[in-house]
Amino acid sequence: MELFKNNRWLLIPILSSLLLLVLMKTVLFLGYVPTESMEPTLKKASFILGTRLYGDLTDGDIIIFERDGRLLVKRITASGGEAVVRNGITLIVPENCYYVQGDNVNHSYDSRFWSDPFVKESSIKAKLLG
């Protein structure tokens, strides 16, 4: 018990670290923008903060999602049930899916180029805060 009394000051940093760890695993998401695909909105090599707890996603929201084992950051341009024209062909976005593009369309590898152009809701890790 003497050891606890002498080291009681350690309790605050330990509890703070545990709280931060729980928040990062359940509520918040820290990400990184590796390319210029979202410029000028998000600069290349910047860190971003997202929330894992989000309601309905709508066109214009920026999401962080997993595709082919990589995390990507893009803007939703169409949601389930909406039509998009890709290479002269009209596609209907399936329910619980999204069509996404980077803000810097000349330097973004996004739904316009993927063989399966839709991001499933289950692949979304977070919605950008702010």
Q: Which residues are catalytic?
A: 37, 74
- 48, β-bridge pairs: 31
Residues with Cβ within 8 Å of 55's Cβ and at least 6 positions away in sequence, in order, are none
Cα 46 from chain centroid (whole Å) = 14
Per DSSP, the three-state class of 116 is coil
- 31, β-bridge pairs: 48
